[in-house]
Amino acid sequence: MSKPQLFITDADAGLELSAEEYAEADFQPPCKYERAQRRITVLPPPGHYHFLIVERIHELLVTYKFAHKHVIQHVIQESWIAINKKTDRRPDLAVYLHNQDAQQQIPQRIPEIVFEIVSPGSDAHDRDYVEKRNDYEQAGVQEYVIVDRFEHRVTVLRRDDETFVESTLQDGDDYTSPLLPGLQIPLKGII
């Protein structure tokens, strides 16, 4: 007899799940569900401005992808990253490059670049700036980009050997990346 499908709702915040249970579960929309230290974290559905920022950056990355087919393999909204056996993340945007890891399957395949758009509230701020920074650094993400419309800045964390080196961009700056030669994303109007 087969095991019944686990259905996770926003009432399940804090529920402890194994990696296998998380992988097999169904999740009730419109919330986003991550797993941190084996416990379900329920993220409310993104607001209007959050959605617009994700959509704009996604459009620019996809345009770049089609112009540079040899660089980007995938640009995925709310991809799934298995950080380790205790933690799974669903970033706003994940960029997977063409490389030797291209045969590895998501969620074990780690994207080279991750974008998170900060949601309102101190919990969301701490999650994006502290918890996810540590998770993505541990997982081997090459570049973690935190878009914060509340503080009108973009924090770019680029890997230097084993750790991230931080830089900050402001409203009039352009986001560029050594991983994406020729890409320029003007931040005016995004933050």
Span 74-120, pLDDT tens digits = 999 999 999 999 999 999 999 999 987 767 899 999 999 999 999 99
* Distance separating alpha carbons of residues 183 and 13, to the nearest angstrom: 38
Bridge partners of 72? Answer: 97
CA-nearest of 108, 172, 94 to 139 is: 108
Average pLDDT score over the chain:
95
- What is the average per-residue pLDDT within 1-23? 91
Say yes or no to pLDDT of 64 above 60. yes
- Which of 43-47, 154-158, 160-164 holds the top average pLDDT? 154-158
Q: How confident is the model at residue 4 (pLDDT cuts 50, 70, 90)?
A: low
For residue 66, the number of C-alpha atoms closer than 13 Å in the C-beta half-sphere is 5
- What is the average per-residue pLDDT within 116-135? 95
pTM score of the predicted model? 0.95
**Sheet strands (E) in the chain:** 7-8, 26-27, 32-36, 39-43, 72-77, 81-82, 88-89, 93-97, 113-117, 143-148, 153-160, 163-169, 174-177, 180-186
Tell me the domain boundaries of the chain. 7-42, 46-186
pLDDT of residue 91: 98
> Are 113 and 179 contacting, i.e. CB atoms less than 8 angstroms apart?
yes
CATH top-level class of 46-186 = alpha beta
Beta strand 72-77 pairing with 93-97? antiparallel
- What is the average per-residue pLDDT within 15-41? 97
